[in-house]
C-alpha cells in the first residue's frame, strides 16, 4: 500500500540504506542528505508549487526523502496506480529545474546507491556510463533487501529512463 499522508516513516530498506552518512569526499563523492522521514504532504506541496511556479500544482504524487547540497530533492514518484511505494520510481528534481528518473523502484535504487551514486549523481550520469564506486555498506543493504537485482548503476538508470521517459515533459507542463 502506498504511504498515506499520515504515514511518513521510511520503508525498512530505505531506512537501512540511509543508516550511514554519505561520503561527499570534497565534491567527488555523493552529495545527498537523507531526511529522517518523508516530507509532510503540506511541505511537499509548498515546495512543488514554488519549484514549478504553479499555485495550483500539488505535490501529492511525490514522497520526498532527501536533498542534495543545492536544494534538489529525491523522491518516489507515485505514477503506478495501486502499486506499493516500493514499486514506484525514484526521481531527482534539481534546484535549477533539472529532472531525472533515477530508478524504476526501491530495489533498483538500493543498487544505484550500492554502486556509489546518489540521486543527483545518478540523474546526471544518465546515459553517460558513469563509473562504479561501490559502497560496501549499501551493497550489503541491497543484497539483503533486493537480492538478485544487482546491476551497474548506469544500466539501472538507463532502464528507468526508458520506462519513464515523460517526467520532464510532465513537469514542464506544470511550470508557469
Q: Give the predicted TM-score (pTM) of the model.
A: 0.93
**Rg, C-alpha atoms of the chain:** 15
Q: Is 138 left (phi over 0), alpha (psi -120 to 50) or beta?
A: alpha
Where are the chain's structural domains? 12-170
Q: What is the DSSP letter of 20?
A: S
Q: What burial class does residue 101 get, using C-beta atoms within 10 Å of its C-beta: 0-12 exposed, 13-18 middle, 19+ buried?
A: buried
Per-residue pLDDT of the chain (176 residues; tens, 9 = 90+): 444 445 678 999 999 999 999 988 877 889 999 999 999 999 999 999 999 999 999 999 999 999 999 999 999 999 999 999 999 999 999 999 999 999 999 999 999 999 999 999 999 876 555 567 899 999 999 999 999 999 999 999 999 999 999 999 999 999 99
How far is 20 from 126, CA to CA, in rounded Å? 25
Amino acid at each position: 500500500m502506498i504511504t498515506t499522508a499520515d504515514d511518513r516513516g521510511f520503508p525498512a530498506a530505505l531506512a537501512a540504506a540511509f543508516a550511514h552518512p554519505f561520503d561527499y569526499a570534497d565534491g567527488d563523492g555523493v552529495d545527498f542528505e537523507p531526511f529522517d522521514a518523508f516530507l509532510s504532504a503540506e511541505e511537499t506541496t509548498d515546495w512543488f508549487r514554488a519549484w514549478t511556479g504553479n499555485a495550483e500544482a500539488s505535490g501529492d504524487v511525490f514522497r520526498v526523502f532527501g536533498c542534495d547540497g543545492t536544494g534538489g530533492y529525491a523522491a518516489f514518484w507515485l505514477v503506478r496506480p495501486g502499486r506499493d511505494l516500493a514499486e514506484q520510481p525514484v526521481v531527482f528534481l534539481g534546484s535549477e529545474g533539472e529532472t531525472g528518473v533515477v530508478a524504476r523502484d526501491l530495489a533498483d535504487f538500493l543498487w544505484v546507491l550500492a554502486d556509489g551514486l546518489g540521486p543527483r549523481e545518478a540523474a546526471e550520469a544518465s546515459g553517460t556510463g558513469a563509473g562504479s564506486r561501490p559502497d560496501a555498506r549499501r551493497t550489503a543493504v541491497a543484497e539483503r533487501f533486493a537480492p538478485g537485482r544487482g546491476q551497474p548503476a548506469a544500466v539501472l538508470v538507463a532502464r528507468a529512463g526508458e520506462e519513464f521517459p515523460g517526467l520532464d515533459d510532465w513537469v514542464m507542463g506544470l511550470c508557469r
